[in-house]
Amino acid sequence: MLKIGNIEINRYPLILAPMEDVTDVSFRYICKQYGADLMYTEFVASEALVRNIDKTVQKMHLEDSERPVGIQIYGHDPLHMAEAAQIAREAKPDLIDINCGCPVKKIATRGDGAGLLQNVPLMLEIVRKVVEAVPDVPVTVKTRLGWDEDSKIIPELAEKLQDCGIKALAIHGRTRMQLYKGEADWTLIGQVKNNPRIKIPIIGNGDVDSPEKAKQMIDRYGVDGIMIGRAAVGCPWIFKTVREYLETGVMPEEPSVTERVNLAKLQLKTSMDWKGDKRGILEMRRHYSQYFKALPDFKNYRMKLVTSMDPDEIFRVLDEINEKYS
């Protein structure tokens, strides 16, 4: 069982990682249907939230059907982060997460996200201020092993973050400089989890892209939950397949083409309803290749899906895919 503040998950927790331009309302809805136990919003910039920028405020829209769900905020100014947390609290999230792990250049190089790994005192000040600002909402942190190979500071950092009052810690098994290259190193995640001084839940993240890999990480490192990010893009049913494998030891069948087509339609429609046709169509494009991975002679359909801006045409292409491959 995972317990974070008032959140209780009475089975092994499978968690959808926060991802910019991915974990919006439409994608979270589908992942929830397939068994994601805890989910997060896209990244919410503290500076934009304090300035009441509409696009940023929109990211905090939550539906009761997706709970438990957290809002993830990022920034490098302690006072603005505290204010942003108070604003986020008004959306009634089940938790507030602090992004200390995003490696993207435009984020990290200005001291946000994983950039905070180069300024630990500032990171800790931010965490303390946010915890103090929202005493009635559990605060968690997502971070990485360190900035680079020479500064894998997570074993010591985890203790300091716990002392700041966070209720859980998610660790991606790469440094910032690795971005998403190479293999995630879970050994230090396991070291943090097995540190007798650590009392908060430790959630492992990085390279969990199959039921077998999830079980291996659980058995080997004993983490309190598995966070799945990129592997869920275009494959939201991964939560269901991992769950069934953990509970039965049997590898479940992949969804049929018809089921995948219907899911793609649902996600596209919901995304357009929420973000408008143009943005909804553009953000959906990253999902198609995975939705229909391994289908033979698919290139022509894929090109149509990732170039058309006409919703009716896209739905027609999806129908054609269903007719041809079902």
**Is residue 102 annotated as a catalytic residue, yes or no?**
yes
Picking from 16, 40, 5, 32, the residue whose alpha carbon sits closest to that of residue 225 is 16
DSSP 252-266: PPPPPHHHHHHHHHH
Pairing of strands 7-9, 2-4: antiparallel
DSSP 228: E
Phi-psi sector, 9: left (phi>0), alpha (psi -120 to 50), beta:
beta
Burial of 248 (0-12, 13-18, 19+ CB in 10 A): exposed
Q: Are 167 and 5 in contact, with CB atoms under 8 Å apart?
A: yes
Rg of the chain over Cα atoms, rounded to whole angstroms, equals 20
Query: What is the edge-to-edge ordering of all strands in the sheet holding 139-144?
Result: 14-16, 225-228, 202-205, 168-172, 139-144, 95-100, 69-74, 39-45
Of 31, 102, 164, 235, the catalytic one is 102
Instruction: Give me the active site residues, please.
Output: 102
